[in-house]
Structure 1
Amino acid sequence: MKKLLFLLTFLLSLTAWSQEPELIEGKVLNSANDEPLENVNIVNLNSVRGATTTEDGSFKVRAAVNDTLYFSYLGFKSIRVRVTNDWLRFGDIKVKMTELGIALEEVVIRPVQLTGYIEVDAKLIPVYDDYRYRIEGIGSGYEGGDKSPGAVSKVLSSIFNPADFLYNVFGKRPKQMRKLRKMKEDDEIKNLLQSKYDRETLMAVLQLEKVDIDEILNKCNYSKNFITTANDLQILDAISDCYEEYRVLNRGKE
């Protein structure tokens, strides 16, 4: 009986050890010509760890069997690759990415035509009325989008009616939202998000569609201008701040 118990304990320990993340290696290539791709961004969607390819396309990232790695690179189709036992056993794996054919539309930039008269020019220069309101102890505040009394009442109603606001936004997505803090703790991921504006990495890690991200920010009272112009790191911070406020309010509710 003791031998059987020892054997079961050993097998369980071996299984747990085999599932521990290991440092795996690989190389990312252009599928068209097998040339290495430098600065490809890689994110482990399970452990929320990031990495970047070197000049020769090589990368190293910690992962366990069945983890999914997300590869993204400007001008190339993003792909997901599942980590297998063979990858861990044989090491260096080549990942090939396909270039996208992007047809850019013509963009017309119209500069502000100033006249030299202050009274006239003051009306021509665009003003962005994105105001943020803060209540001490509630978090980083809310962005009302305009300075009308309705903007303030919208913010206050959002804060004092969590069941109709924050709970409905985050209560359905507890697993995805728990990854927010991990993303903010990983320097590789933060550097990646700082230079991106397409929301792709956020969508992949949080398992959300772009429309869901826009809805969250909108319900957290961020302006349309912020939602459309902020980089992905700013969007991550905004969602994270709003989620922390939700957690505080939800604890009080419970």
Structure 2
Amino acid sequence: MKNYLLAISLLFISYGYSQVDKNEEEVKQLKAVILNAQTDQPMESVHVVNLNQVVGTISNEKGEFEIPAKVNDTLYFSFLGFKSQKVRVTNDMFKFKGTKISLTELAYALEEVIVRPYSLTGYLEIDVKNLPLNNAFQYSISGLSVGYEGGNKNPSAVTKVLGAILNPADLLRNLFGKKPNQMRKLRQMKEDDRIRDLLASKFDRETLMELLQLEKVDIEDILNNCNYSRSFITTANDLQILDAISSCYEEYKVLNRKR
């Protein structure tokens, strides 16, 4: 009986070790080369992001890159002037060397652009009337040190502002509570220098959308309801947007714990 129990124990221990080894081998270093699809030449400084592992890297002068990955991970490639591309990691990429990823150059048809500067007359009273106006209204609440941007002047804007002030936890719960998996990636994204460098050079929200699996309208909705101005939302780079969403999410977690 004792020998039987000993055999069973050894079997479980052996199985446990094999599972640990298997898990450790799941994430490996994937090596590949990035080429220009039109010229078949290697591309340097292409940004590569593993959307699942939330890590990034950059291709060298030979177009080569190395990144932690496992089978079925999705790699996201981006380079200015080229169409961004997503590639699913397969077993063959690990088994066979020399995997090549080709990026296609974007073709822009540039139309004639006529630049019309402000027609200034030199008379202040006339020139002021010709300047564009910002139609966004700021609402101030007595006792609060910050103003709230509500957009155009209408009843719904006031309701939105009061809702943000009176029910901040409920508002943020609606924003973040439905997307827990996406929000868990925020800290990983902030800790990876390659991803931060990439986002600092981006203004189109494309990479951020892929990393967080959110639509552009979702990102704008989060920032709008976290008291960020329209000016910030439209002009900030993707890294600033990431930090803003992360800050708002941390506030949500604090409010959520207090309820």
Aligned pair 1:222/2:201, yes or no?
Answer: no
Provide the residue aligned with 1:13 in structure 2: 20
State TM-score, norm by structure 2. 0.81
Aligned pair 1:94/2:107, yes or no?
Answer: no
Gaps of at least 5 residues in structure 1 are 134-140
Provide the residue aligned with 1:60 in structure 2: 66
193-202 vs 78-87, greater mean Cα deviation: 78-87
Aligned pair 1:43/2:45, yes or no?
Answer: no
Describe the superposition over 1:46-88 as per-residue Cα deviations: whole angstroms up to 9, x where unpaired. 1111111122211121222322111112222222222233322
Aligned pair 1:72/2:112, yes or no?
Answer: no
Could you tell me whether the CA contact under 8 Å between 2:150 and 2:161 is conserved in 1?
Answer: no
SS, match of residue 32 in structure 1: coil
Amino acid at match of 1:74: L
Describe the superposition over 1:73-106 as per-residue Cα deviations: whole angstroms up to 9, x where unpaired. 2222222222233322334421111223233444
Could you tell me whether the CA contact under 8 Å between 1:50 and 1:61 is conserved in 2?
Answer: yes
Q: 1:213 aligns with which of 219, 232, 250?
A: 219
Could you tell me whether the CA contact under 8 Å between 2:164 and 2:171 is conserved in 1?
Answer: yes
Amino acid at match of 1:215: D
Amino acid at match of 2:184: R
Amino acid at match of 1:240: S
Amino acid at match of 1:191: D
- Aligned-residue CA RMSD (Å): 3.2
How far is the alpha carbon of 1:109 from its aligned partner? 3.1
How far is the alpha carbon of 1:143 from its aligned partner? 5.5
Gaps of at least 5 residues in structure 2 are 1-6, 141-145
Provide the residue aligned with 1:144 in structure 2: 149
Map 1:117-156; keep pairs closer than 5 Å: 117-125=123-131, 144=149, 155=161
230-239 vs 87-96, greater mean Cα deviation: 87-96
Could you tell me whether the CA contact under 8 Å between 2:30 and 2:94 is conserved in 1?
Answer: yes
Aligned pair 1:168/2:181, yes or no?
Answer: no
**Distance change >3 Å, CA 130–CA 117, structure 1 → 2:** same
Q: Distance in 2 between matches of 1:110 and 1:223?
A: 28
Amino acid at match of 2:11: L
Amino acid at match of 1:219: N
How far is the alpha carbon of 1:213 from its aligned partner? 1.6
Provide the residue aligned with 1:235 in structure 2: 241
Q: Distance in 2 between matches of 1:73 and 1:226?
A: 25
Amino acid at match of 1:178: R
How far is the alpha carbon of 1:168 from its aligned partner? 0.8
Kindly tell me the number of residue pairs found equivalent between the two proteins: 248
**Distance change >3 Å, CA 102–CA 65, structure 1 → 2:** same
State TM-score, norm by structure 1. 0.82
Could you tell me whether the CA contact under 8 Å between 2:169 and 2:252 is conserved in 1?
Answer: no
Identity among equivalent positions (%) equals 55
**Distance change >3 Å, CA 3–CA 28, structure 1 → 2:** same
Q: 2:250 aligns with which of 226, 240, 244?
A: 244
**Distance change >3 Å, CA 222–CA 102, structure 1 → 2:** same
Could you tell me whether the CA contact under 8 Å between 1:130 and 1:223 is conserved in 2?
Answer: no
Q: Distance in 2 between matches of 1:132 and 1:46?
A: 41
